[in-house]
Structure 1
Amino acid sequence: MFDEEHPLADAQLQTLAVRAGQHRTAEGEQGEPIFTTSSYVFDNAAAAAARFSGDEPGNVYSRYTNPTVRCFEERLAAMEGGEACVATASGMAAILSCCLSLLKSGDHVLASRSIFGTTSMLLNKYLAKFGIEVTQVNLTDYDAWQQALKPNTKMLFAETPSNPLNDIADISKLAELAHGNDSLLVIDNCFCSPALQQPLSLGADLVIHSATKFLDGQGRVLGGAVVGPEKLCEEVLGFIRTCGPTMSAFNAWVFLKGLETLKLRMQAHSDNAMALARWLQQHPKVEQVYYCGLPEHPNHELATKQQKAYGGVLSFKVVGDREQAWKVIDACRLMSLTANLGDAKTTIVHPATTTHGRLSDEQKLEAGISENLIRIAVGLEDVDDLKQDLERGLSQL
């Protein structure tokens, strides 16, 4: 991304998180400015024509060219090790833009079953209307991935770690399968962020983010991003330019501030999640804990290999069914009952009736979403307070 003489050419992640993408104006500002303008004024008609045609670089209209958004794009691309980035209005807008810009009627998408419920709805309900076929397989069953490949398979899509069971995909292995079939591998890196995992370096072609989550880190605004090679991102940008699911300048500025502390926060999230997972593992009212940081997790070794830490999201099954799971959730007074994650504030949710509630019973069963499953996105509070909060409900079972 940077030439050899650029001051950030060999910079480490934390330096990129603070410095990459900033281009100071004539005012010499220290902090990144927010360009709250819908359009830009040209010197003359010829200059306007050159900008619109792309013959001359520069800003045209904030639906697809805005300096604050561009700063966020350049910074996230640098952190992910990608050539380019396209920012979007939300994480789902990033997935939609990626699919509709790179796929066509008659193409086949091969995806994991272990994905966010709304992502599954997008793939199975809405892409089907455009003649795009979708098959879903077990995330860690690589024979199933291989057998489900077709000549018209153009994209493999996976989350790792998965939502909400923390399954881990071998990104290099999926990349090998994809590229052997002349397909693209798209990885949702929302749970780890570039602070903990860089899928492009492991062979992925594109990385998807719901910037709403850990990239912001404080639950303030919505946004998404697609990161990867310039050629593929140009296709996504063409869709954004035409269809308009664009990130606002203010939201981009918020994400820029979030990226500055991302590495520090992700380590703190991971430390708290590990402590809480170990505590839950020993609790008599808990059947099973799903956190890839635990040595007992079936994908622990792989997570250790391809991640710098284990992230801030875990899930667990309580003894009982929906009634008992709801009782635990309703007893919490500190944790926020909300479906968002990646916040400084810990959130708790019942996936079967919220984040994955629109899936059929069969789809939930295939994805491992049981009625006694609870997901926690561990925040930055003192972990002893989080334990006490959960104990209020667990002690009643």
Structure 2
Amino acid sequence: MKYIETSLIHTGKEFNTTSSVTPPIYQTSTYYAPENPEEYLEMAGEISPSHFYHRHGNPVNNQAAAVIASLEGKEAALMTSSGMGAISTAVLSIIEKGDHIIAQNAHYSSVSMLFREFLPSLGVEVSFVDQADNEAFQEVIRPNTRLIYLETPSNPILTITDLSFVGKLAKEHGIVTMCDNTFASPINQRPGDFGIDVVVHSATKYLGGHSDLTAGVICADKEFIAKAWKRMIILGTSLSSFDSWLLLKGLRTLSLRMERINSNALQLASWMSEHKAIKQVLYCGLPSHPQYELARKQMKGFTGMICIDVAGDDEDAQFKHAQTILNKLVLFTNAASLGGVESLIVHPASMWGKHHTKEQKLKAGISNGLLRISVGIEHINDLIADFDQAL
């Protein structure tokens, strides 16, 4: 299929062997074995078999995986029970004791903990670099570097990584690259087009789009997905059948949702950039963003994520100002997560406060006045009016 909108509706239909237009929910943990012992033996050795045992795979999981693999331009995909399930499964499919990873200063909070605490306890070394500095990646490469892990735009402050540069650099050194594409979505960006080997998502966010499920996905070539699947069945990170059914339903409207979300975010960010109560607006679709040209080069749309730094004479004043705005907003709900049809807002310094030191927060660009906004599909005039009264 040539167009994304068509692929979202029709890819993976072969996994629905019923006459139902909407695939059924396979609410079962196991399946009857074929009468032929040889057929059962073959099924037991397959990667992601549809009708063997739920932890190994199920029809709706496989259909959702086919849709997302197609979106990312990859050969295959693997569904997991959460975004962190996808990331940890994928990373642990590559590295072993004595290996070295290159990561960024700015990552999703739990990913930072994975790299700063968990992996070093297994004997894995991790170097952290400024993702906006291409040379920084090159300078820390070692003979034992096995993985370069990226996130672009980064959570929360939307810093951009040059995917083409890192993809080419890694290929020259035989290093695997992995990119978290959650903030962009495959509608706005496809890391594989720039030479990135593995793409991961928290499918809880834009891919599901309705804040009603928790899921993750790994997209790569068939060889890597086979490795990741073996790791997944050991770690037990498989996706539930009901969540995969919800995800498949959400995927059908992804292109429509992202079109509205991209438009709303750009208009809201533009309005915010003129407001005196806001010290800085961070949105990669604004020419004021320090990496705007790079974002234009590798993104088709600029996502629904905005960060603002509110005005204040010092950190305490900024903190109080941010909390006042949170309390006054009506349509923007103060809640964790992002990428749903409803607009959400969080105060990252509070949400991640106990997971990072003050120094680590500053390195990641998280100040007391920072607010992270996930723009939904409501009417833009209502969204602007809500911020206008709160500010």
- Secondary structure, in 3 states, of the residue corresponding to 1:384? helix
In structure 2, relative to structure 1, the CA distance for the partners of 1:191 and 1:25 (3 Å cut) is closer
Q: Does 1:19 align with 2:19?
A: no
Q: Does 1:34 align with 2:15?
A: no
1:102 corresponds to which residue?
94
Q: Does 1:237 align with 2:232?
A: no
Distance 1:24 1:183 in 2: 34
1:19 shift after superposition: 0.5
- 8 Å contact 2:16–2:59 — kept in the other structure? no
Moved over 6 A (4+): none
* Deviation readout 1:76-120 (Å, 9 max, x if unpaired): 101111001011000001110011111101111101112111110
1:216 corresponds to which residue?
208
Distance 1:218 1:250 in 2: 14
In structure 2, relative to structure 1, the CA distance for the partners of 1:242 and 1:330 (3 Å cut) is same
1:268 shift after superposition: 0.7
RMSD: 1.6
Q: Point out the more displaced range, 55-64 or 215-224.
A: 55-64
- Secondary structure, in 3 states, of the residue corresponding to 1:194? coil
1:171 corresponds to which residue?
163
1:391 shift after superposition: 2.5
Distance 1:70 1:55 in 2: 11
- 8 Å contact 1:50–1:56 — kept in the other structure? no
Q: Look up the equivalent residue of 1:391 and give its one-letter code.
A: D
Distance 1:239 1:337 in 2: 36
Distance 2:173 2:249 in 1: 40
| Equivalent residue in structure 1 for 2:249, among 233, 257, 261 | 257
Q: Does 1:117 align with 2:109?
A: yes
1:24 shift after superposition: 6.2
1:59 shift after superposition: 2.6
2:195 corresponds to which residue?
203
Aligned length: 385
Distance 1:188 1:107 in 2: 20
- 8 Å contact 1:167–1:299 — kept in the other structure? yes
- 8 Å contact 1:118–1:356 — kept in the other structure? no
Q: Does 1:131 align with 2:123?
A: yes
- Secondary structure, in 3 states, of the residue corresponding to 1:217? coil
In structure 2, relative to structure 1, the CA distance for the partners of 1:282 and 1:55 (3 Å cut) is closer
- Secondary structure, in 3 states, of the residue corresponding to 2:296? helix
2:338 corresponds to which residue?
341
- 8 Å contact 1:339–1:355 — kept in the other structure? no
Q: Look up the equivalent residue of 1:13 and give its one-letter code.
A: I
In structure 2, relative to structure 1, the CA distance for the partners of 1:295 and 1:55 (3 Å cut) is closer
| Equivalent residue in structure 1 for 2:38, among 46, 51, 54 | 46
- 8 Å contact 1:87–1:224 — kept in the other structure? yes
1:50 shift after superposition: 2.6
Describe how 1:1-397 pairs up with structure 2 within 5 A: 8=1, 11-23=2-14, 27-44=18-35, 45-54=37-46, 59-320=51-312, 321-355=318-352, 357-394=354-391
Distance 1:17 1:64 in 2: 24
Distance 1:145 1:357 in 2: 28
* Deviation readout 1:165-191 (Å, 9 max, x if unpaired): 111111010111212221111011101
- Secondary structure, in 3 states, of the residue corresponding to 2:186? helix
* Deviation readout 1:298-321 (Å, 9 max, x if unpaired): 111111111111000000100122
- 8 Å contact 1:350–1:374 — kept in the other structure? yes
Distance 1:46 1:265 in 2: 46
1:357 shift after superposition: 4.6
Distance 1:78 1:244 in 2: 25
* Deviation readout 1:360-391 (Å, 9 max, x if unpaired): 11111111111111110001111222222223
1:276 shift after superposition: 0.7
In structure 2, relative to structure 1, the CA distance for the partners of 1:184 and 1:356 (3 Å cut) is farther
Q: Look up the equivalent residue of 1:337 and give its one-letter code.
A: N
Q: Look up the equivalent residue of 1:30 and give its one-letter code.
A: V
Distance 2:353 2:340 in 1: 20
| Structure 2 alignment gaps of length 5 or more | 313-317
1:56 shift after superposition: 12
Q: Point out the more displaced range, 54-63 or 358-367.
A: 54-63
- 8 Å contact 1:85–1:227 — kept in the other structure? yes
- 8 Å contact 1:116–1:356 — kept in the other structure? no
- Secondary structure, in 3 states, of the residue corresponding to 1:196? coil
In structure 2, relative to structure 1, the CA distance for the partners of 1:19 and 1:323 (3 Å cut) is same
- 8 Å contact 1:193–1:214 — kept in the other structure? yes
Q: Look up the equivalent residue of 1:378 and give its one-letter code.
A: V
Distance 1:152 1:26 in 2: 46
2:315 corresponds to which residue?
none
- 8 Å contact 1:160–1:189 — kept in the other structure? yes
* Deviation readout 1:203-248 (Å, 9 max, x if unpaired): 1000010000000111000000000111111110001122211111
- 8 Å contact 1:112–1:157 — kept in the other structure? yes
Q: Look up the equivalent residue of 1:83 and give its one-letter code.
A: E
Distance 2:338 2:352 in 1: 11
1:192 shift after superposition: 1.4
Q: Point out the more displaced range, 37-46 or 143-152.
A: 37-46
